[in-house]
Amino acid sequence: MTTSSSEQDKLVRVLARGDVLALAFGAMIGWGWIVLTGTAIQSAGSLGAILAFIVGGLAIVLVGLTYAELASAMPKVGGEHVYSYRALGHLPSFLCTWAIILGYLSVVAFEAVALPTVIEHLAPNYAVGHLWTIAGWEVKATWVAVGVGGSLVMMLINYFGVTTAALLQKVVTGLILLVGVMFVTGSLFEGETINMMPLFAHNEGGMMAGIIAVLVMVPFLFVGFDVIPQAAEEINLPYKAIGKVLMLSVILAVVWYALIILATSLALDSSELAASSLSVPDAMGALFNASWASNLMIVAGIAGIVTSWNAFYIGGSRAIYALAKAGMLPAPFGKLHPRYKTPTNAIFLMGFLSCIAPFFGRPALVWIVNAGGLGIVIAYLFVAISFMVLRVREPDMPRPFRIRHGKLCGTLAIVLSFGMACLYLPGSPAALSGAEWSIFAGWSVLGVVLYIHALRTYGRAYSDQHMMADL
pLDDT band at 203 (very low <50, low <70, confident <90, very high): low
| pLDDT above 70 for 8 | no
Is residue 1 assigned to a domain?
no
Residue of 77, 115, 96 whose CA lies nearest to 354 = 115
Alpha-carbon distance values, 138 to 35, 131, 150 (Å): 20, 7, 20
For residue 212, the domain's CATH number is: 1.20.1740.10
This prediction's pTM: 0.84
| pLDDT above 80 for 415 | yes
Q: How many domains does the chain fold into?
A: 1
Higher confidence at residue 217 or residue 392?
392
**Residue 394 contacts by C-beta under 8 Å, 6 or more apart in sequence?**
none
Q: Are 370 and 39 in contact (CB under 8 A)?
A: no
Is residue 4 assigned to a domain?
no
Within a 13 Å sphere around the CA of 388, how many CA atoms are in the beta-carbon half?
Answer: 16
Distance, CA of 21 to CA of 4 (rounded, Å): 32
Is residue 439 assigned to a domain?
yes
pLDDT band at 226 (very low <50, low <70, confident <90, very high): confident
- The string of pLDDT tens digits covering residues 284-337 is 999 998 889 998 998 888 888 888 888 888 888 989 998 998 888 888 888 888
Is residue 3 assigned to a domain?
no
Question: Does the N-terminal peptide bond of residue 332 adopt cis geometry, omega within 30 degrees of 0?
Answer: no
Length of the chain, in residues: 471
Within a 13 Å sphere around the CA of 420, how many CA atoms are in the beta-carbon half?
Answer: 33
Domain of 260, in residue numbers: 14-470
> Which range, 166-180, 426-440, 454-468, has the best average confidence (pLDDT)?
166-180
Residue of 363, 359, 298 whose CA lies nearest to 151 = 359
Is residue 386 assigned to a domain?
yes
pLDDT of residue 181: 92
- In this structure, how many other beta carbons lie within 10 angstroms of the beta carbon of residue 391? 20
pLDDT of residue 204: 63
pLDDT band at 144 (very low <50, low <70, confident <90, very high): very high
pLDDT of residue 206: 64
Is residue 384 assigned to a domain?
yes
pLDDT of residue 414: 92
- The string of pLDDT tens digits covering residues 429-450 is 667 888 889 989 999 999 999 8
pLDDT above 90 covers what percent of the chain?
22
Residue of 382, 374, 377 whose CA lies nearest to 431 = 374
| pLDDT above 90 for 40 | no
Is residue 99 assigned to a domain?
yes
